[in-house]
Amino acid sequence: MNAIEVTNLSKSFKIPHDRKTGLKSVLLGFLHGSSGSDTFHALKNVDLQVKKGEFLGITGPNGAGKSTLLKLLAGVLQPDTGKIQINGKLSPFLELGLGFNGELTAEENIYIYGTILGLTRRQIKNRFQEIITFAGLEKFVHTKLKNFSSGMLARLAFSIAIQVDADILLVDEVLAVGDEAFQKKCYEVFKKFKKEGKTVILVSHDKQIIKKFSDRVITFKDGKI
């Protein structure tokens, strides 16, 4: 059985020609007619099957449809047409730290973000030290996240996300802001995922990591494979 089956999947977005920034401009646009919008076809009739236990790498230029596909698979977006079938528990590592609160400490955010991802309070408590150690943030447990760098935030979010017990993992450029030492830790996680037979879809511009881990690679261009 396939872990993921995608059939005839399409997604478009409306892009307005101009942006109304005030009440006057909105009223003038209403009276005189707006300048309209363009349609951006992010995905065009995509068919894709991902086998259980497969590590699939996805490459392609910005705007080609890679991240849109992952958001559709995760249920963050809904397709215009087509069908998606997911066979197993899915965990998306997309916009890492989306549920973070900058006014709260790292410790407080671990419990909030972990809960959002489906972990119980007991699971978070039992894995708390492992999360902090993996992220390399032992000295910043009681520091508010608004004082964290983007790299620290990404490390913390990824360290929490990998605690989720899932069959299918969607990974979108999570290593882009990590330092070399943290990237090596992430590589070990990917090795562990492969050994455990998890299905992984990795979107990345890093050809080395794609080549290192992928069983198969597909490239997106203009919304098509």
In a domain, 20, yes or no: no
* C-alpha span between 158 and 217 (Å, rounded): 23
Kindly indicate the confidence band of residue 73, based on its pLDDT and cuts at 50, 70 and 90: very high
Q: What total of structural domains would you count in the chain?
A: 1
**Residue-level pLDDT at 102:** 92
The CA-based angle 144-147-152, given to 5 degrees, is 95
Instruction: Supply the CATH number for residue 78's domain.
Output: 3.40.50.300
In a domain, 19, yes or no: no
Please enumerate in sequence order all residues whose Cβ is within 8 A of that of 106, keeping only pairs 6 or more positions apart, or say none. 132, 137, 140, 141, 142, 143, 145, 148, 156
Percent helix, percent strand, percent coil in the chain, to nearest 5 = 40, 30, 35
In a domain, 5, yes or no: no
In a domain, 98, yes or no: yes
**Residue-level pLDDT at 31:** 58
pLDDT tens profile 76-119: 899 999 999 999 988 887 766 677 899 999 999 999 989 988 89
Kindly indicate the confidence band of residue 208, based on its pLDDT and cuts at 50, 70 and 90: confident
**Residue-level pLDDT at 48:** 97
In a domain, 187, yes or no: yes
In a domain, 35, yes or no: no
In a domain, 124, yes or no: yes
* C-alpha span between 69 and 173 (Å, rounded): 14
**From the centroid of its chain, how far is CA 47?**
20
pLDDT > 60? residue 30: no
Q: What average pLDDT score do residues 24-29 get?
A: 62
**Residue-level pLDDT at 110:** 96
In a domain, 21, yes or no: no
Domain range enclosing 154 = 54-82+90-219
The structure's pTM equals: 0.80
Kindly indicate the confidence band of residue 207, based on its pLDDT and cuts at 50, 70 and 90: confident
Helix ranges (H only) for the chain are: 23-32, 66-74, 106-116, 121-135, 150-161, 180-195, 207-213
**Residue-level pLDDT at 186:** 85
